[in-house]
Structure 1
Amino acid sequence: MTLSARITRRVERDFPQDESATVAQLLEELVKSVTHGWLIAEERIAAAVLLYSQGDADRFAQAADYAQRDWRDLLVVAELANEGWQQRIDDEFGMF
């Protein structure tokens, strides 16, 4: 899985420059392991991790833990579980 341009921009915006490449790599690996190739879920999971983490490494680790235990819990805490989640992602991350 390759992160979308808007997800990559958000990683670069939210995390310090010296951490953003590592965060992006970890995020790619996490999304791949959680979604098992379900394309529709990849960006949603990545967005949920970033929304929950708010640029904080500790919150990023918590989001990863949520995703690995049950990605649906992550969607709930990131407010991407309900109808309208696509619009929230567009609002938060911009259009492709």
Structure 2
Amino acid sequence: MAEEPISTRLHDRIRRDFPDHGDAKGIEGALRVLAVELEYSRQSTERLLAAAVVIADGDVNRFRSAIRLARTDWRDLLVAGGLGHADWPQVLDEELRPR
């Protein structure tokens, strides 16, 4: 993966949900690793990574659970994050809009 997998709007959501700088950096590091691990899925990287952040809702332990879920089955991650249906682009836009 040559380019940065974390979009600007996802980065903003992470900073909003995880105001502690150390937590946010750790979340972003884990997401970069996950992006590489899930390249085979051929899904939108932003969609996959955002699903983990949405599931976490600012809780580091829930984020860790979301990462485990992603590694088990990325499709379950998308469903749990509300991004597993045909309307996922609209849901993603809503989840990542500035607040």
Task: Calculate the TM-score normalised by the size of structure 1.
Answer: 0.89
- 2:21 corresponds in structure 1 to 17
| Identity across matched positions, percent | 33
CA contact 2:23–2:60 (8 Å) conserved in 1: no
- 1:61 corresponds in structure 2 to 64
CA contact 2:35–2:45 (8 Å) conserved in 1: yes
- 2:78 corresponds in structure 1 to 75
Letter in 1 for 2:49: A
Separation in structure 2 between the aligned mates of residue 37 and residue 48 of structure 1, nearest angstrom: 14
CA contact 2:48–2:74 (8 Å) conserved in 1: yes
CA contact 1:49–1:64 (8 Å) conserved in 2: yes
Displacement of 1:33: 0.7
1:27 to 26, 31, 53: 31
CA contact 1:32–1:42 (8 Å) conserved in 2: no
Displacement of 1:8: 0.6
Moved more, 12-21 or 2-11: 12-21
Runs ≥4 residues deviating over 6 A: none
CA offsets 1:11-68 (integer angstroms, 9 cap, x no match): 1111122211111111111122112383x42011011001101011110011001100
1:36 to 36, 40, 44: 40
- 1:6 corresponds in structure 2 to 9
Aligned with 2:64: secondary structure?
Answer: helix
Higher fraction of helix: 1
State yes or no: 1:86 paired with 2:93.
no
CA contact 1:35–1:41 (8 Å) conserved in 2: no
Mind listing any 5+ residue stretches in structure 2 that lack a counterpart?
none
Mind listing any 5+ residue stretches in structure 1 that lack a counterpart?
none
Separation in structure 2 between the aligned mates of residue 45 and residue 31 of structure 1, nearest angstrom: 8
